[in-house]
Amino acid sequence: LRQLSLDGKGPSPAVSPTGRRSYTLEQINDLRKHMASAKPKDAITYLPWRRRGDKLQTIAVANFKGGSAKTTTSIYLAQHLALQGYRVLAVDLDPQASLSSMLGVQPEFDLEEGDTLYGAIRYDDKRRPLKDIIRKTYFAGLDLVPGNLELMEFEHETPTALMERKTTNSEIFFRRVGVALAEVEAEYDIVVIDCPPQLGYLTLGAVCAATSLLITIHPQMVDVASMSQFLLMTADLLSVVRKAGGDLNHDFIRYVITRH
């Protein structure tokens, strides 16, 4: 790194009076690109972006219990992956929008109608492209689809949409999150979805869009019991979704034990 910086190649770090160089995360990401193009054979060790044939990995963090550390897990996972050099999209699917607040978006003040994922999955003609909804965050390499109370509309409108479906060609509810994410797939390596604490249409959409699941769980009797209910209900609902043609292959399903 020192030689690179002395040769004037790559980003210019801040240099302290004692000669210590420090790089911002943006500069580290520039360095990754620089090294990957200077040493194409070792590119993967510098720049872990997915290669041709690698699919987008979409991780849904779910459990129907509030306070089981879904949001905490989502944000640290997303930030960790961004620090590793991946291009990460965090999706806040919880109307309570804690993930958005943590990533610097005030859900009550900073958002207009259609600025959440709802804008990209709604059934009417106000639907917008997801790329117009995504925001950069203060964290390099980590973009956000914010959430707020507007997401609840999807839970209310889906039953009507299901009834009217015979007369319209609109995509069925459990495919809409995945279809929206597919629009921006080329820009990202990993999507992390923070699910709401209930097994509604949004959560089902996320589980269907996901290539893997993280289920957060407190190691306490009552919580474990409620989680097994969640899993039973999910299995029931998913078998209905599967019959309707939903894609439910997951690369992994992991339980994350959280305690505090």
Ligand X SMILES: Nc1ncnc2c1ncn2[C@@H]1O[C@H](COP(=O)(O)OP(=O)(O)O)[C@@H](O)[C@H]1O
Residue 58 CA to residue 188 CA, distance in Å, equals 10
Q: Does 70 bind ligand X (CB under 6 A)?
A: yes
148 scored as a contact of Mg ion (CB under 5 A):
no
Query: Is residue 58 a contact point for Mg ion (CB under 5 A)?
Result: no
Residue written as token pair 């269907």: 208
- Does residue 66 belong to the site contacting ligand X (CB under 6 A)? yes
Question: Minimum CB separation from ligand X for residue 199, in Å?
Answer: 14
Strands (E), 166-258: 190-194, 212-217, 252-257
From CA 89, how far away is CA 185, in angstroms rounded? 10
Cα Rg of the chain, angstroms:
20
User: Closest residue (Cβ) to ligand X?
Assistant: 260
Residues facing 214 on adjacent strands: 61, 254
Closest CA to 208 of 55, 53, 58, 74: 58
Residue 72 in the binding site for ligand X (CB under 6 A):
yes
Site for ligand X in 82-121 (CB under 6 A): 98
Query: Is residue 258 part of the contact set for ligand X (CB under 6 A)?
Result: yes
The answer to the question of residue 98 lying near Mg ion (CB under 5 A) is: yes
Residue 67 binds: one of ligand X, Mg ion, none (C-beta under 5 to 8 A by kind): ligand X
Which member of 27, 58, 71, 148 binds ligand X (CB under 6 A)? 71
List, in order, residues 6 or more apart from 157 with CB less than 8 Å away: 122, 123
> Measured from the CB of residue 110, what is the shortest distance to ligand X in angstroms?
20
Spatial separation of the C-alpha atoms in residues 143 and 27, rounded to whole Å: 17
Given candidates 62, 69, 144, 214, which one binds ligand X under the rule CB under 6 A?
A: 69
Compute φ and ψ for 136, nearest 5 degrees.
Answer: -75, 155
Residue of the chain from 67, 128, 198, 238 that contacts ligand X (CB under 6 A): 67
The contact set with ligand X (CB under 6 A) reads 66-72, 98, 197, 258, 260
The contact set with Mg ion (CB under 5 A) reads 70-71, 98
